[in-house]
Structure 1
């Protein structure tokens, strides 16, 4: 195995199976955040930790190959743009920052509010995920990128 990888076939196989489900749960947590426990921050943390698991199991170089630094920076910017864009659009149409009901959409006010909140939660989730991944990538060396070498 290449450096920074866990050699146990069991751990690698289970991780290949479970990481997509962790990511789906993170997306679920973001999407249903306004109606149930969770939200953008919690979902972003779940998504970010799924990439940390990928890094621990498959090595830092493989994780950086799958998710390059440039893509992380694009996601960080996109999340901030979504969050601030919703707030600025509200202000542009005469409301307060993140008032959620001033967007000129052909929907009732409560549906505009729910849609705006969903967009803000998605922006928060993308930003939190990106920051967690970037901080982890910067704080770990390749030889430290795995916890066990079973």
Structure 2
């Protein structure tokens, strides 16, 4: 790989743009059960905002924002959120991922489905973000 020269304009642009991409990614995750989008698309946007900083500033600076060692635990937590929600509904007497059977007191079936889908979307978004960043980190390992 050629020696990279840090550009202050590119670094400033990526630092200004990255939080807005993250905010839009969270919007896509939280609004995914109402409109097109959801956990995968939102997780991809979150990963893109992190990778924008990684590409523009290098690994040393980007580790301050999101460390390398966080990718695997966050991916595992996202998968556990997904399967934990499904198993909770299964243990409550419903089918796997039957959100209407979630044991949340005080909520009727439509509200249970709303919160169940939102929990699933958060788990998927977290997993997708962590796995994409992990893939990128594995691909560039040893190039710094």
TM-score after normalising by structure 2:
0.91
- Residue 41 of structure 2 aligns with which residue? 42
> 5+ unaligned residues in a row in structure 1: which ranges?
145-150
C-alpha root-mean-square deviation of aligned residues, in Å? 1.7
Judged with a 3 Å threshold, the aligned counterparts in structure 2 of structure 1 residues 6 and 126 are, in CA distance, closer, same or farther, namely farther
- Residue 126 of structure 1 aligns with which residue? 126
Residue deviations 1:68-103 (CA, integer Å, cap 9, x gap): 233112211110111001000000100000011001
TM-score after normalising by structure 1:
0.87
Residue deviations 1:100-132 (CA, integer Å, cap 9, x gap): 100122111001001000000000000000000
- Residue 139 of structure 1 aligns with which residue? 139
- Residue 24 of structure 2 aligns with which residue? 25
- Counterpart-to-counterpart distance in 1, 2:55 and 2:69: 21
Q: Tell me by how many angstroms 1:15 deviates.
A: 1.0
- Counterpart-to-counterpart distance in 2, 1:114 and 1:99: 11
Partner of 1:101, secondary structure, is helix
The number of residues matched between the two structures is 141
Judged with a 3 Å threshold, the aligned counterparts in structure 2 of structure 1 residues 139 and 89 are, in CA distance, closer, same or farther, namely same
Judged with a 3 Å threshold, the aligned counterparts in structure 2 of structure 1 residues 61 and 22 are, in CA distance, closer, same or farther, namely same
